[in-house]
Structure 1
Amino acid sequence: MSDLASLFIVPTPIGNIQDISARALAVLQQVDLIAAEDTRHTAKLLNHYQISKPCFALHDHNEQQKSAGLIAKIQAGQSIALVSDAGTPLISDPGYHLVNDCRAAGVNIVPLPGPCAAITALSAAGLPSDRFSFEGFLPAKEKAKVDTLTALLEEPRTMIFYESPRRVLDTLEQIVKVMGPDRRVVVAREITKTFETIHGAGAAEMWQWLGEDENRRKGEIVLLIAGHKPDPHALPQAALQTLTLLVKELPLKKAAAITAEIHKVKKNALYKWGLDNC
């Protein structure tokens, strides 16, 4: 470990307690203080590896207020390890404000590689992994969830979400409605734990499969959605939205001409679509 007082970003196991690196254990043994999302949860890990260090609770509700004090400790020569309950801190977990404030204050930050549920699930999902987007948790309320999925409708990359067992069925139902019943999805649950399950199917089939057995939607869930594969002959969704708005004020022929010029698509195809849908 560096002699320079630092903030160490330390990933912890997402399930299997053996999934922690030798370097992470060495850092936890040598720092002066551990900033933990839940000190009770972190205590179980520390006790398992016989590490005795003072812990400080740092979570969503106090992070912005406490970061200045932690920075002062580092500037005074103490090193601090930042850990979350599971996985890599800051990835849908607390830590952003502390890290941002540390960088602004010129504090040395040392990130350690390690467990991350999103990346672990992606590696086994069978979906394209050369390009992907991590979207965190979808909104809980239906309208906001539908709006988010609609905004991602034409996202070409594999999308990765964290999801609650209580909401996963509703989320799949909205995916079917917004993205279609055949959009490929993968549900990865309880990764690295005893009942680890990774299952892929079309969205409608997945909704049915999850609904058949409550056990299939228990535990920590990573939901992956295949990216959009555009039909080379299909009109862009943005162009259809523009046309739909314009025909409320203009004749279809004029609206199609303007839309074609804006979006660089064929006017005749827009006009034909308008005849059938507007």
Structure 2
Amino acid sequence: MSTLYICPTPLGNLEDITLRTLRVLRSVDIIAAEDTRHSRKLLEHFNISKPLVSYHQHSSSAQTEKLVARIAAGESVALISDAGTPGISDPGQSLIAMCIESGINVESLPGPSAVITALAAAGFPLAAFTFLGFLPRKGREAVNMIAEIAHPVVVYESPKRVKKLLERLDAKMPERPLLIARELTKLHQEYIRGTVRSVLADTDWDRVSRGEFTIVLGPWQPEVPEQDEGAIDAELAAVLATGVSVRDGVQIVSSRLGVSKNLVYDIATKKKDGLSNPS
């Protein structure tokens, strides 16, 4: 059966490729690679000789459609990126989505991933986590969003921008625990641990000015601004005066003021008790 295989490749250490990935790469008709020159070196190392086609973030929709048509016609294709798992902050998502929409079998192979490798090394509780990939260049809004997330957050960053990112994080959450995983699985792999502020202050940024960075922010308790109960009470009174039920009024005020429904309900209950038991 014609299939698109999503094949993870090593982040740096070639020993991390799986036997299954090697078998698939040797068996498919075509290998779609983010950078054919880079991938050719990998394939030559493992004595794999297969036709290579270029598929990267700038590939057009016409190129995607052409590749999907080849798979639909019976060819099997392995999708690889320069490192890690295709489709995770890497090219490939459009091709994967179009194959699924076209009813083509898509098989994802387990393997190297900077996200999972860094999360495992961080040692943080992982009942949930958020992965944001590379943040936008003007990352203030993203930092504000991260400050509101209580569970671990993973981002990628370039060496030229990582210090600036930490400066922005320091302004919002200086004591949040942090792991920087630099050059994962490569010769100069390094884990930098601490809080946002301590890592920012103690790191020799000239020394770590190169490489690939995966940043894991640990769990923390976002600051909850103090609520003005008087303002909530006044808003609730105005809403209830329109004739809506207490339940609906609580929902409206909570949504309008961005406050907890439990808090609004407590205020509504106090108001009701006060009316029932006048002094």
How far, CA to CA, are the matches of 1:68 and 1:134 in structure 2? Answer: 29
Cα gap change, 1:209/1:256 in structure 2, threshold over 3 Å: closer, same or farther?
farther
1:66 aligns with 2:69: no
How far, CA to CA, are the matches of 1:101 and 1:158 in structure 2? Answer: 31
Match of 1:81, SS state, is: strand
Counterpart pick for 1:154 among 141, 148, 156: 148
5+ unaligned residues in a row in structure 2: which ranges? 237-249, 268-279
How far, CA to CA, are the matches of 2:201 and 2:209 in structure 1? Answer: 12
TM superposition shift of 1:154: 2.1
How far, CA to CA, are the matches of 1:34 and 1:183 in structure 2? Answer: 42
How far, CA to CA, are the matches of 1:96 and 1:73 in structure 2? Answer: 17
Q: How does 1:108-187 map to 2 (within 5 A)?
A: 108-141=105-138, 145-179=139-173, 181-187=174-180
Letter of the 1:102 counterpart: C
Larger radius of gyration: 2
TM superposition shift of 1:257: 4.2
Check whether the contact 1:172–1:207 (CA below 8 A) recurs between aligned residues. yes
Q: Which moved more, 1:88-97 or 1:54-63?
A: 54-63
How far, CA to CA, are the matches of 1:125 and 1:85 in structure 2? Answer: 24
Letter of the 2:164 counterpart: D
Counterpart pick for 2:206 among 208, 211, 214: 214
How far, CA to CA, are the matches of 1:166 and 1:209 in structure 2? Answer: 17
Cα gap change, 1:253/1:131 in structure 2, threshold over 3 Å: closer, same or farther?
closer
What does the per-residue CA deviation read over 1:156-206, in whole Å, with 9 as the maximum and x for residues that have no partner? 210000110000000000000122x21111100011111111121111111
How far, CA to CA, are the matches of 1:130 and 1:217 in structure 2? Answer: 33
Match of 2:107, SS state, is: strand
Cα gap change, 1:256/1:15 in structure 2, threshold over 3 Å: closer, same or farther?
farther
Check whether the contact 2:2–2:74 (CA below 8 A) recurs between aligned residues. yes
How far, CA to CA, are the matches of 2:60 and 2:92 in structure 1? Answer: 7
How far, CA to CA, are the matches of 2:61 and 2:193 in structure 1? Answer: 39
How far, CA to CA, are the matches of 1:175 and 1:154 in structure 2? Answer: 12
Could you tell me which residue of structure 2 aligns to residue 229 of structure 1? 221
How far, CA to CA, are the matches of 2:114 and 2:207 in structure 1? Answer: 19
Check whether the contact 2:64–2:94 (CA below 8 A) recurs between aligned residues. yes
How many positions carry a matched residue from both structures?
Answer: 245
Match of 2:17, SS state, is: coil
Cα gap change, 1:36/1:159 in structure 2, threshold over 3 Å: closer, same or farther?
same
How far, CA to CA, are the matches of 2:118 and 2:163 in structure 1? Answer: 19
Check whether the contact 1:185–1:201 (CA below 8 A) recurs between aligned residues. yes
TM superposition shift of 1:129: 2.0
Counterpart pick for 1:105 among 102, 105, 114: 102
What do you get for the CA RMSD once the two structures are aligned?
2.1
Task: With the length of structure 2 as denominator, give the TM-score of the two structures.
Answer: 0.82
Cα gap change, 1:63/1:117 in structure 2, threshold over 3 Å: closer, same or farther?
farther
Cα gap change, 1:128/1:63 in structure 2, threshold over 3 Å: closer, same or farther?
farther
Q: How does 1:237-252 map to 2 (within 5 A)?
A: 237=225
Could you tell me which residue of structure 2 aligns to residue 265 of structure 1? 263
How far, CA to CA, are the matches of 1:113 and 1:56 in structure 2? Answer: 22
How far, CA to CA, are the matches of 1:60 and 1:213 in structure 2? Answer: 30
Match of 1:56, SS state, is: strand
